[in-house]
């Protein structure tokens, strides 16, 4: 069974950093891309970023709203994806989901982890 | 950036009725890389349809997708109680990937 489990969400102050993890099981992690999507309280879905599989160069893409502040990475040996959040703003408050990507499609999702940015 | 506009914002229907949800793109979606997701309160989104019209694994055949280019539709032929949720369209044809704002299907 394909599983993705996010962790690392927390209450943090504006300007601080946080690292989210996406631990996976049930599939060969290295064969897939990993995407991140967030959802602010009561709002819709917002694409955050994506990292491709290493066989295709592991290219990263970011939404304009997070570019330069967030960094996506992956550890294929452990089957874990990461989202490093820096210079956090109150508007970054959201549930963050990771998703396994088949091609560019987000096919399987984790349950999400809540990041709250507040002083 | 491809902007996706979903309509209506809310659809009030009874179980057994047909639901028709629209998603219009600001420019053509290449390869019809348009997906539909269902999200229930407190849950992660679930993939229903990809490439505009292909049902994902395990999705009931009452869900169907159609359209191409800039106009796409999700149809639920006969609403079941578990279908009342929010539905999002999503284009994955070009970066930045984008989502529509969602259509809420509620019980009338």
Segment A40-60, tens digit of pLDDT:
999 999 999 999 999 888 899
Shortest distance, CA B91 to any CA of chain A (angstroms): 9
User: B99 and chain A: CB distance < 8 Å anywhere?
Assistant: yes
The closest of B31, B40, B37 to B2, measured between CA atoms, is B31
Banded pLDDT at A83 (limits 50, 70, 90): very high
- The mean pLDDT value for A2-11 works out to 97
Summarised one tens digit per residue, pLDDT across range A8-18 is 999 999 999 99
Task: Name every residue whose Cβ is closer than 8 Å to that of residue B63 and which is 6 or more positions away in sequence.
Answer: B36, B48, B49, B55, B74, B75, B76, B77
pLDDT value of residue A102: 86
pLDDT value of residue B24: 98
What residues in B contact A106, CB-CB < 8 Å? 35, 47, 90, 92
- d(CA A108, CA B4) in angstroms, rounded, equals 22
A-B contacts (CB, under 8 Å): 55
Q: Do A105 and B92 touch (CB under 8 A)?
A: yes
* Other CB atoms within 10 Å distance of the CB of residue B56: 17
Average pLDDT, chain A: 96
- d(CA A46, CA A66) in angstroms, rounded, equals 11
């Amino acid at each position: 069974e394909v599983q993705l489990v996010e962790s690392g969400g927390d209450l943090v102050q504006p300007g601080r950093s946080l690292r989210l993890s996406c631990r996976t099981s049930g599939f060969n992690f290295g064969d897939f891309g990993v995407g991140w999507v967030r959802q602010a309280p009561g709002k819709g879905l917002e694409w955050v970023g994506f990292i491709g599989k290493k066989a295709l160069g592991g290219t990263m893409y970011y939404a304009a709203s997070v570019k330069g502040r967030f960094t996506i990475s992956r550890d294929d040996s452990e089957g874990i994806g990461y989202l490093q959040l820096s210079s956090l703003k109150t508007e970054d408050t959201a549930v963050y989901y990771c998703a396994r990507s088949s091609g560019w499609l987000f096919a399987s999702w984790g349950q999400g982890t809540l990041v709250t940015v507040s002083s | 950036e491809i902007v996706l506009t979903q309509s209506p914002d809310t659809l009030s229907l009874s179980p057994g009725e047909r639901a028709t949800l629209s998603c219009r793109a600001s420019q053509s979606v290449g390869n019809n890389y348009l997906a539909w997701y269902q999200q229930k309160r407190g849950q992660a989104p679930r993939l229903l349809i990809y490439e505009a019209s292909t049902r994902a694994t395990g999705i009931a055949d009452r869900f169907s997708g159609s359209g191409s280019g800039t106009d796409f539709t999700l149809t639920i032929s006969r609403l079941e109680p578990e279908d009342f949720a929010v539905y999002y369209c999503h284009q994955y044809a070009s970066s930045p990937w984008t989502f529509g704002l969602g259509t809420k299907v509620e019980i009338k």
